[in-house]
Structure 1
Amino acid sequence: MLSHEEVQAALSARLDGESTGLDDAVVDAHLQQCEQCRAYWDRLLSLSRNLGLAEVGGGMAPPPDLSEVILAGVEGQWRRFAQRRALALALARVGLVFMACVWAAWAIRFIVTADPATETAVRLGVASALAFAAWKPGQIPGILLIVGTMFTFTLGFAVRDILVDSANGVLGPLLILLFSFVALVATWAIDKGADVRRAWRLLSADPA
């Protein structure tokens, strides 16, 4: 007379594709009559299906390439994330190109009004840098340093002029610099999103 433990051990071996040590017909006959062992077998089958196991040679075994099962589960989510990131990066690059055009138009205005050539060269340089950043986002940190410095100095002069009530014509250049700075930061953050999040987690980690 077979015990429940012997039958259940044989069922586990069958699931693993190993020799059960018992006649399959005897095990199957016991399953038909024993509700406890039949419930045990059903739980084994359910667990195997949840783990993505495949039937091989009358038993159950992991699929040849488990990575395919894992990737199949995350592929849709990853594709949606990649599409959103690509769209956001494209919009950020368009913003950089737009700001490059603004700086170029600003430089042309200086040429028309016969203002100092140095001012014109600076604005053309920034326009070229923004256009280059749109093409190569990896170069943004160096450009960001220059634009950020210009914005900081301009903001300081703007505050000074406001205090002495002579802030005529300051708001326009300040806004152009601000929007350029924001466009650079946004493009860089989207392009290096995973690295930025990883660095932030490291900086905000609790040492305790």
Structure 2
Amino acid sequence: MISHEDVQAALSARIDGEPSGLDDAVVDAHLSGCAQCRAFLDRSLALSRELGGGGEGTMAPPQDLSAVILAGVDDEWRSFARRRELGIAVGRLLLGLMAVVWVLWAVRLILSGGEEPVVASTASVRFGVALALGFTAWRPQQIPGVLLIVGTMFTFTVGFAVRDAVLGMGQFAVAGVVIPLLSLVALVWTWVADRGGAVRRAWQLLGARPY
């Protein structure tokens, strides 16, 4: 024989949507002949309705909270991954385009003639930068090293352009400033798209307060 306490515990579990531990047929058979347990069931159902439920099983919690949480995290991660892949794709396209620009710039210098040692030296530098940009389009992990080179070239070029403008030493080619600048932008864009998430997480960890 089962006790009233066992039946009432099973009824509470049934209302909460949890396993009762007793066969439903046994519980229902006991209810049909026990006024005390029927009264307990009525009170429990009334209380569940007052708390926002509508009957048996309506107060059941989500069956798998971990699945709900992981689904939300997974959606956020997929969105971040899509943004990252798009940013890297755009950056690689820009790097490839700038590599072609540097090649054309070097070829134009060779075709224009001039002092042979100077032309050969400058053209070789431009071909080297084009090769470096093409390599970083293939392997974005190598961007920091190339970024230092292109950034240094751009800084010196701007410095000489400002000096020539201030001292009136002649006309400075705009391409000498614009092309390194655009290359620098392409490198920074691709690096941020590739490593920006890791840098942001590291910064958040450094700024976290454990207390």
TM-score exceeds 0.5: yes
In structure 2, C-alpha distance between the alignment counterparts of 1:17 and 1:41, rounded to whole Å? 21
Correspondence for 1:163 among 166, 172, 175: 166
The change in CA–CA distance for 1:45 and 1:89 in structure 2 (over 3 A counts) is farther
Task: Tell me how far apart the structure 2 counterparts of residues 154 and 205 of structure 1 sit (CA, whole Å).
Answer: 41
Please name the residue that 2:105 is paired with: 106
Identity %: 42
Which amino acid in 2 is paired with 1:130? L
The structure with the larger Rg is 2
Q: CA deviation at 1:40?
A: 5.5
Post-superposition shift, 1:201?
A: 3.2
Partner SS state of residue 169, structure 2: coil
Name the CA shift for 1:41/1:182 in 2 (closer, same or farther; >3 Å). closer
CA contact (8 A) 1:155 1:174 kept: yes
- Aligned pairs (5 A) from 1:66-77: 66=66, 68-77=67-76
1:95–1:183 contact (8 Å) kept in structure 2: yes
TM-score, length of structure 2 as denominator length: 0.73
Residue 47 of structure 1 deviates from its aligned partner by 6.1
Q: Which amino acid aligns with 1:186?
A: W
Q: Pick from 21, 38, 48: which aligns with 1:29? A: 38
Residue number in structure 2 paired with 1:84: 83
Post-superposition shift, 1:111?
1.4
Matched, 1:141 2:144: yes
Q: 1:144 to 1:167 in 2, by over 3 A?
A: farther
AA at the equivalent of 1:29 = R
- Counterpart CA distance in 2 for 1:207 and 1:29 is 53
- Counterpart Cα distance in 2 of 1:162 and 1:206: 51
* Counterparts of residues 2-17 of structure 1 (less than 5 Å): 7=8, 11-12=12-13, 15-17=17-19
Q: For structure 1, which segment, 160-169 or 104-113, has the greater mean C-alpha deviation from structure 2 after superposition?
A: 160-169
Report what 1:185 is aligned to.
188
Is this contact kept in 2: 1:31–1:37, CA < 8 A?
Answer: no
Cα shift at 1:133: 0.5
Say if 2:124 is the partner of 1:121.
yes
Structure 2 counterpart of 1:198, from 178, 198, 201: 201
Distance 1:174 1:28 in 2: 89
CA RMSD for the aligned pairs? Answer: 3.6
Give the letter aligned to residue 194 of structure 1.
Answer: G
* Aligned pairs, number: 192
Structure 2 equivalent of residue 131 of structure 1: 134
Q: Which residue is 2:178 aligned to?
A: 175
Instruction: Flag structure 1 segments of 5+ consecutive residues without an equivalent.
Output: 54-61
Q: Which has the higher contact order (CA 8 A, sep 6+)?
A: 2
Q: Is residue 17–residue 58 contact of structure 2 (8 Å, CA) maintained in 1?
A: no
1:109 is displaced (CA, Å) by 1.2
